[in-house]
Structure 1
Amino acid sequence: MPDVPTPRSVRQTAEQMSRTDRLSTPGARWLLPLRAGVALVIACGAALLVWAVFFSAEDGPDLPHEGKAGQEVTDGTVIYRLTRVRCGLRSPPGAPGEKPDNGQFCELTLDVRNPGGSPASWDARLAAGNATYAPEWHLEQNDAKALTGRTEADEHRTGRLVFDIARSADPVELTIGVGLSGDAGARISL
């Protein structure tokens, strides 16, 4: 008995012919290179994304602008970490003859890291009691560990800032950063 085509076999044969016809038409020949090109672009994009993530990690992770002592914070340019606070000093480190005008010296030890490709100048303010105090920059001449407010490109340095604050004042917050104006800078709660 001859084979009688069933509706299912007719449908399968039509689909096979349709696929064959599509691949053999002159306009369909460019589809394969196009698909390969799209796949290559996607692969290159993924590789570029992975490269960007890994190499930007060398510049430091995205860090907060506010934190506590011991945590890294950034002003967007330089990364800071306050490691130690000593207040009630009668003379600053490196200058034993210096006396406080306001009542006491506070020594803040910081790690400062500039991951950028250019030098950065920064400033600091210490909120204590009802006042804000600037560092005693002139003391850097007598103290090899004093921070100078300038960090070279790709430099990582540990040093100290000294503040002359009121005897009855307790330090509350250090604001530090490039271009301290308004809300700029990193804030570290003590």
Structure 2
Amino acid sequence: EGYTSTLARLSRATGINLCIGVQRPDAKVITGQIKNNVPVRICGRFADSKASEIVLSNTKAKDLPEVKGRFLFKLGADTVQFQAFYFDDDKHFIPNKILKLRKDESEDKKGGLDLNKENLIDDNLMNNINEKFQIKEVKSMDSNIENKDKSKAEIFEEQNKTENLKSNINDDYE
């Protein structure tokens, strides 16, 4: 507690922002001094109001809807609800799937895993990923919005996000 409080206090004074993550907030760990020196807070839904009170200084996290990827953002006195991207591990956690698929392909062809840059991700592999995990487009996580209600520009923008995600993954492994 002492070191964390000191770190929070000194880092804020020098313009360094801390990112602190806890699974189960406790008043002994997240003291008032830490809360005062970490002005931006993001949290998901909590089952009880005590945990929400510890993180946000209000009970809004207890009343947050049970929607995957739904969070609260608090800056100063304002608390705003937002929807983050939610990636279902079984369908969309692409980096692990890429490595697993690449490992399986390498073992079938060469009897071992070859991780050189040229073999890690290529167009054929991306096509296999798209087929295997049925990745076609980014769909809204909000069940109230359906593609039929979206303009062509919005659908095009979502498809571009998917292509950018694939491109970023490709860049990360080069």
Name the TM-score, length of structure 2 as normaliser: 0.20
Bigger radius of gyration: 1
Give the structure with the higher percent strand. Answer: 1
Name the TM-score, length of structure 1 as normaliser: 0.19
The higher relative CO (CA closer than 8 Å, separation ≥ 6) is in 1
